[in-house]
Amino acid sequence: MSDAECHARIRAARGRLGSKAVLLCHHYQRADVYQYADLTGDSLKLARLAAATDAEYIVFCGVHFMAEVADILSGPGQTAILPDLAAGCSMADMANLARVERCWRELGEVLNAEERVTPVTYINSAADLKAFCGRHGGITCTSSNARAITEWAFGQREKILFFPDQHLGRWTGHGMGIPFDEMPVWDADLECGGLAPEQIRKARLLLWKGHCSVHQMFQPAHIEKFRAEHPEGLVISHPECCFEVCARSDHVGSTERIVQVIKEAPPNTRWLVGTELNLVNRLAQDVKGEGKIVQFMSPIVCMCSTMQRIDPPHLAWTLENLADGCVVNRIAVPEHEAEPARLTLERMLAVS
């Protein structure tokens, strides 16, 4: 199938579906898919949109955990669909239920975890981890509400177990004035996370040893080079970047926030952006008419390879099947997981 034929088939199937389907697209989606988005956003905005839509089919152009959230927050007559089931998130895979439950048991050997620790999962996690948080008085957060959610979590209990992104947790904790020695890293490959009992007792924020393979590519040296060449330039990064990158940035925010800050910036400004390449390329095009220059932070191409899997052929196949009344690639979270996971998402929406 040629590209032209593929796009003609997407348009025809989309037309046949009409308002029965809504296409939700994350900012990292490739341009040849993003053009079909009905609605776009960061994880928090997309969760709200999924909860608000009344479309029968929610076609999620994003990654697996986002489609799970759409399924959990949508109504009983609605179906969430991920055009390619291989579109996962490598960071989400860095924590799993068996390891988090083991961590909880090991914490329980040192202190009363149920009474003293609130589990907080980044939305980049499987539904069973959100369910774990729901069962243990915890909550879900995203990159745009991590501070408010962390404050809520400390309002419940004195300590937090934050998974799976150590960088978002560390940046958020630092912003709240928590010293580094009270934010130790829990390495699930080691017994008791590799921590001594006194480190656990002293900890306020236990950071799971997980990270994003895309955002780890951005380094302080990239910012230093940019600042030397363009002293007037501004730097904006996603909080999945390491602490040293966030600390050297002028702004740190979610994908939606990055888009908003640069779109609202004065004309003729120059920006270095530490987040995924599809977003940066699109933004650079969108604002170049105002004389704004938007540069990608890394000299090495780093895209989210799992987001990339949602491509025009998968979209055409999905939409044609739906238009013919055949549901493919449905993401359905079993109710015993969906119920406690929904609790953490509803708490999150209420707090943010």
List the x/- string, 271-300, binding to ligand SF4 by CB under 6 A: -----x------------------------
Nearer to ligand 13P, 321 or 352 (CB): 352
Q: Does residue 165 touch ligand 13P according to CB under 6 A?
A: no
What pairing do the DSSP bridges indicate for beta strands 159-163 and 139-141?
A: unpaired
- Report the C-alpha gap between 315 and 343 in whole angstroms: 31
306 is in the binding site of which of ligand SF4, ligand 13P, none (Cβ under 5 to 8 A by kind)? ligand SF4
Given 68, 128, 240, 320, the residue binding ligand 13P (CB under 6 A): 240
Q: Give the other-Cβ count within 10 Å of 128's Cβ.
A: 19
Count of residues that interact with ligand SF4, criterion CB under 6 A: 13
- Report the C-alpha gap between 335 and 317 in whole angstroms: 28
Nearer to ligand 13P, 136 or 222 (CB): 222
Q: Report yes or no: 97 and 75 within 8 Å, Cβ to Cβ.
A: no
Residue by residue, DSSP assigns 253-292 as: --HHHHHHHHHHSPTT-EEEEES-HHHHHHHHHHHGGGT-
Residues 70-89 that bind ligand SF4 (CB under 6 A): 89
Q: Of 133, 111, 307, which Cα lies nearest the Cα of 208?
A: 133
Q: Does residue 125 touch ligand 13P according to CB under 6 A?
A: no
Given 59, 91, 94, 242, the residue binding ligand SF4 (CB under 6 A): 91
Query: In the complex, what is the shortest distance from the CB of residue 143 to ligand 13P, in angstroms, rounded to a whole number?
Result: 4
Q: Report yes or no: 6 and 36 within 8 Å, Cβ to Cβ.
A: no
Q: Does residue 216 touch ligand SF4 according to CB under 6 A?
A: no
- Placement of tokens 């990339």 in the chain: 308
Q: Does residue 42 touch ligand 13P according to CB under 6 A?
A: yes
Question: Which tokens sit at 252?
Answer: 């740190």
List the x/- string, 8-37, binding to ligand 13P by CB under 6 A: -------------------x----------
Q: What share of the chain is helix, strand, coil (3-state, %, to 5)?
A: 50, 15, 35
Q: Does residue 29 touch ligand SF4 according to CB under 6 A?
A: no
Q: Can the peptide bond before residue 179 be classed as cis, meaning omega within 30 degrees of 0?
A: no
Query: Which chain residues interact with ligand SF4 by CB under 6 A?
Result: 63, 89-91, 124, 212-214, 240, 276, 304, 306-307
Query: Which chain residues interact with ligand 13P by CB under 6 A?
Result: 27, 42-43, 124, 142-143, 212, 238, 240, 254-255
